[in-house]
Homo-oligomer: A and B are copies of this chain.
Amino acid sequence: MNFSSKLLENAVTEFSRLPGVGQKTALRLVLHLLNQDKADVERFGAAITKLRNEIQHCSVCHNISDSQVCEICASHKRDKGLICVVEDTRDVMAIENTSQYNGVYHVLGGLISPMDGIGPADLSVDSLVERVKTGEVREVLFALSATMEGDTTIFYLHKRLKDQPITITTIARGISFGGELEYVDEITLGRSIATRVPYEGTLSR
């Protein structure tokens, strides 16, 4: 592209480094910012720099946090005997949004993926084993994506944890609530028949 201004070109180049943002989108975003008040743009730039410079990871669960120990780990209302193992912060947010979970988390920071060169050493696995070994933990719940990488990670973590006196669980798999049967893929449908559960007069919604 033929920019009339070096400043503009720099800003567009920076924006187009973001995932899913091409040069045309970057230009549209930058021109939008140019039309905003100086104070607003200043705040935008500052929010990002501040985030990167001041953010911490919780020393217990490795979740993104403003303080050394995150709000969830610091809360007395949370059940410290139940640890939910997730891939990243987004999963913590998704589960928190359900309001169905009262335990604590452990953020792995990724999934085991030999294709991408990510092994157990790149993830916060050892600290999970340490947490379990303290003896305070009753149950570890795996809430990982139902993909090859997720399954591999569960398999590995199970191997590391199976000698500990805890219950190991995973979130239920099956058809989604509201899912129409004819559109469900064969594997999910087949498995949900094989792993059918007793009907007790009501479906837990």
List A residues at the B interface (Cβ < 8 Å).
1-8, 10-11, 13-15, 17-21, 25, 27-34, 36, 38, 41-55, 63-66, 70-72, 88-90, 92-93, 96-97
Contacts and interface: CB of A to CB of B under 8 A. Distances in A.
Contact of A52 (B6, B42, B51): B42
Contacts of A32: 18-19
Contact of A11 (B36, B42, B48): B48
Contacts of A8: 51, 55, 64, 89
A49 B1 CA distance: 22
A102 to B, nearest CB: 14
A29 B18 CA distance: 6
A68 B66 CA distance: 44
| Total copies of this chain within the assembly | 2
A45 B45 CA distance: 4
B14 A43 contact: yes
B11 A88 contact: no
A1 B52 contact: no
Contacts of A90: 27, 31
A8 B33 CA distance: 20
B66 A7 contact: yes
A52 B18 CA distance: 20
A49 B55 contact: no
B28 A19 contact: yes
Contacts of A49: 41-42, 45-46
Contacts of A21: 29
A192 to B, nearest CB: 28
Can you list the 3 inter-chain pairs with the closest CB atoms, starting with the nearest?
A45-B45, A41-B52, A45-B49
B7 A50 contact: yes
A7 B53 CA distance: 10
A11 B51 contact: yes
